[in-house]
Amino acid sequence: MAGGKVGIGLAGCGYWGKNLARNLHQMGLLVAVADPSAKVLKEVKAAYPGVKTTREFADLLKDPKVKAVAVAAPAVEHYDLARKVLNAGKDVFVEKPLALRVPQAEDLVELAQARKRILMVGHILEYHPAIRKLKELVDAGELGEIHYVYSNRLNLGKVRQEENILWSFAPHDISVILLLVGKLPEWASTSGQHYLQHDVADVTMTCLAFPGKARAHIFVSWLHPFKEQKLVVVGSKKMAVFDDVIKEGKLKIFDKGIEWKDGRPVTRQTAESTLFFPVLLYQQGFRFFNMGYAAALAVLLLIVSLAVTFIILRRAERLIHYQGLVR
């Protein structure tokens, strides 16, 4: 492709895949789409003239113009499709979750390293300008020592049948919390319950304990009366709130806290700052495919640390006490 761009094929163009298709096409990267639905492919042809369409996933692997594949199929297919892409010698972007079993995720990481291919996961919040700015502030010590982080990701739907709410919603928050804290948790626990379908949890609460005193919790639900996507970071100097539902001013920094004076706790509240950012999440992430493979590989393999997500989500026997959340 012109300008050194990497041609990307898309596997799955349904509910979420269509968002990838739109962003990839806007960036001039989309060359082919594979989807089993004839109706979906008809819509793709109408929206993106010149983009190849096929009902066979294998056609993406055979196409010499497809240098990388974005996988947006149902979660149960992620591991198998990603493995086929890597074995075909192509780079792969996989929507979260990477896989539904820890050994599968570890296998993909090892395979990508062995093949010297890029394995990237759709933890798009890591590329949000507000999150990147928040990470910058944390690393610079602006918030002081991180005491605790909590996130709420709540909505009425979209209810999944092949994965529970923890798999569907929580990976975003886990990846961001790990990014901000910069450490792996020493222990984690998750509890929840199913109400709409047997053995598919609709609501969960996850607690994480990091080395030292840092703590975090994640509350997710698709059975909730209103939409909320909020992350709160409490530091020893300042506090931050990232609200992804509001359109503007998504990141606020609060110069407030509790100080001890004459042996008594005193509330300190100096100022509040609201920061504004433009947002093109997928385009921020997909730009790494155009950096040049050596640099991109070095950067993106760091994202493979999301295997930690699976340590948190699926190490049931050793780390997490699920209460009927594992199918």
Give the tens place of pLDDT for each residue, 234-252.
999 999 999 999 988 999 9
* Under 8 Å between Cβ of 188 and 312: yes
Residues of the chain with pLDDT under 50: 289, 291-309, 311-312, 314-327
CATH 3.30.360.10 is right for the domain spanning 125-279: yes
For the chain, what are the domain ranges? 2-123+282-304, 125-279
Q: In what order do the strands lie in the sheet with 146-156?
A: 187-193, 203-209, 215-221, 146-156, 223-235, 239-243, 251-261, 264-275
Domain 2-123+282-304, what architecture? Answer: 3-Layer(aba) Sandwich (3.40)
pLDDT score at 225: 97
**Residue 221: per-residue pLDDT:** 97
pTM for the complete prediction? 0.79
The predicted pLDDT at position 277 comes to 66
**Residue 323: its pLDDT value, please?**
36
Extended beta strands in 35-158, E state: 52-54, 68-71, 91-94, 119-121, 146-156
Q: What is the pLDDT of residues 179-231, one digit of tens each?
A: 999 998 999 999 999 999 998 999 999 999 999 999 999 999 999 999 999 99
